[in-house]
Structure 1
Amino acid sequence: METIGSTGLWLAFTSIVLVMLAIDLFVVGGGKEHRVSFKEAAVWSVIWISITLAFAGGLWWYLDGSLGREIANTKALEFITGYLIEKALAVDNVFIWLMLFSFFAVPLELQKRVLLYGVLGAIVMRTGMIFAGAWLITQFHWILYVFGGFLLLTGIKMYWFADEQPDLENNRLINWLRRHMNISSSFDGQRFFTRQNGVRYATPLFLALVLVELSDLIFAVDSIPAIFAITTDPFIVLTSNIFAILGLRAMYFLLAGVADRFSLLKYGLAMVLMFIGVKMLLLDIYTIPVGFSLAVVATIIGASVWASLRKEARERKNG
Structure 2
Amino acid sequence: MKRIITALIVLIMLGLAGAAGGYAYWKSRLAEPLALTEPLLYQVPAGAGFNQVVADLGRRGVIADPWALRVLARVAPDQVPALRVGEYRLTPDMNSRDMMALLASNEVVTYSLTVPEGWTFAQMRGLLDSAKKLEHLTADMSNAEVMALLDADQDHPEGWFFPDTYQYHLGMSDADILRQSHQRMEKMLEAAWADRADGLTFDTPYEALIMASLIERETGAPDERREIAGVFKRRMKRGMRLQTDPTVIYGMGSRYDGNITHADLKEKTPYNTYVIDGLPPTPIALPGSAALEAAVNPLPGNTLYFVARGDGSHHFSRSLREHNNAVNRFIRGND
Q: Whose helix fraction is larger, Structure 1's or Structure 2's? A: 1
Q: TM-score, normalised by structure 2?
A: 0.19
Q: Whose strand fraction is larger, Structure 1's or Structure 2's? A: 2
Larger radius of gyration: 2
Query: Which one scores higher on RCO, CA 8 angstroms, separation ≥ 6?
Result: 1
